[in-house]
Amino acid sequence: MSQPPQNGWDHPQSGDPYGQSSPNGYGPGQPGGDGSPSFAPAFGSSEQFPQQPPVKKGPGKWPFIVGGCCVLLVLLIIVAGAGIYFFTRDSGGTEEQRTTGSSTSEEATTEEEATTEEEATTEEETATEEASADAAADGKGAKDSPYATGETFTIDDGDGGTLDVTLGEVDWDATSTVMDTNQFNTEPADDETYVLVPLEVTYHGDSEAEAYMSVTVEYVSNSGESFTDQGTVTPHNSIDVDTLTDGDTGKWDMGLIVPKDQIDDGMFSVQALLDFEAEPVWVAP
């Protein structure tokens, strides 16, 4: 009996345990291990493919864009600063001109007011001096040389006008007359009496005068005591007199309470109510 082939392939055995010799031992007569030539070099081989150098990228457009924006920003800042400077300068000049103009106007107004006040003061002083001169022209009006009742004298009214004043005949015992006129008048004590002093006043001036605001009358006794009207309602009351304009004349009475032992030995002192500097004019009853 013949023996079957030992390798089962009916071929003589070879030194290759897989039946065929191969340079890499993986296929029948194939130089590569997968049936195709291998181009990849074996590890450790000296043959290497050349490496590609890295691609160098340029800076691109961004630096130019950023630089342009910076330049534009600087230009805007310069233009804005210049505009603010010139605007502020122009505003300052205008304000200075306005301030200067206002100061000049105020100075001119102040000078005009000062001039007007000086002129008005001078006119008032002149009127006062003239009135005083008229009152003292004949040496009368002073305490040692008084006017008599019924005589007319002129005084300044303290507001640019003058008053021609005349004191009439005095009623030294007028208590019953005054109390009959108004029961609310102050009743004098037993040792006192009402004295009625008639006045006639003519106003001269560009303004006007009120009778109750024109003159004051005091009775000064020989002992030096003074007595004035305390708002007595008289038969001819000053509040009933119309407003006096240039040339108008008003007549009224003034009621004074005086001790009985001091009547008929003193004098009357007359002044304009609004003239605080003029000396009083004296009138003897």
pLDDT tens-digit readout, 45-100: 444 555 555 555 555 677 778 777 887 888 888 877 777 766 666 555 555 555 55
Share of the chain above pLDDT 90, in %: 49
Q: Which residue has the higher pLDDT, 87 or 142?
A: 142
- On the question of pLDDT at 135 being above 80, the answer is no
Lowest mean pLDDT of 18-32, 104-118, 205-219, name the range: 18-32
Does residue 7 lie within any of the structural domains? no
Alpha helices in the chain (DSSP H): 62-136, 175-181
- The verdict on residue 10 lying in a domain is no
23 part of a folded domain? no
- Whether 73 and 177 share a structural domain: no
pLDDT for position 125? 57
- What's the pLDDT score for residue 32? 47
- Whether 166 and 236 share a structural domain: yes
- Residues 151, 118: one domain? no
Q: Three-state SS for 33?
A: coil
* pLDDT at position 76: 83
Res 80: pLDDT: 77
Residue 239 maps to a domain: yes
On average, the pLDDT of the chain sits at: 77
Residues 109 and 189 in one domain: no
Residue whose tokens read 């150098």: 53
pLDDT of 72 reads: 81
> 192 phi and psi, to 5 degrees?
-125, 165
Locate all alpha helices (DSSP H) within 137-228, ordered by sequence: 175-181
What token pair was written down for 192? 């006192």
Greatest mean pLDDT among 30-44, 59-73, 89-103, 171-185 lies in 171-185
| Segment 174-190 mean pLDDT | 97
- Identify the CATH number of the domain in which residue 253 sits: 2.60.40.1240
Domain annotation covers residue 251: yes
**Same domain for 202 and 276:** yes
Mean pLDDT of all residues in 37-47? 47
| Burial state string for 97-111 with b = 16 or more CB within 10 A and e = fewer than 16 | eeeeeeeeeeeeeee
Confidence of residue 258 (pLDDT cuts 50, 70, 90): very high
Euclidean distance between CA atoms 151 and 143, whole angstroms: 15
Residue entry with tokens 């002083």: 125
Q: Are residues 76 and 185 in the same domain?
A: no
- Residue 80 is assigned to a structural domain of this protein: yes
Residues 198 and 256 in one domain: yes
Q: Specify if 200 maps to a domain.
A: yes
86: which residues sit within 8 A by CB, 6+ positions away? none
Co-location of 106 and 158 in the same domain = no
- Please state the rounded mean pLDDT for residues 260-273: 95
- What domain range includes position 103? 64-127
Last residue of a domain, one of 94, 127, 160: 127
Q: Please give the tally of structural domains in the chain.
A: 2
> Across-strand partners of 253?
198
Q: Is residue 34 part of a domain?
A: no
- Tell me the C-alpha to C-alpha distance, in Å, between residue 73 and each of 49, 68, 69, 78, 83: 53, 9, 6, 9, 15
- pLDDT, position 254: 97
- Closest to 128 in 3D by CA, of 277, 5, 254: 277
37 vs 189, more confident: 189
State yes or no: pLDDT of 114 exceeds 70.
no
Is residue 168 predicted with pLDDT exceeding 90? yes
Does pLDDT of 230 surpass 80?
Answer: yes
Looking at the structure, tell me whether residues 264 and 154 fall in a common domain: yes
Q: What local confidence, expressed as pLDDT, does residue 62 receive? A: 73
pLDDT tens, position by position, 148-165: 999 999 999 999 999 999
| Residue burial 202-223, b: 16+ Cβ < 10 Å; e: rest | bbbbeeebebbebbebbbbbee
Q: Is 35's pLDDT higher than 70?
A: no
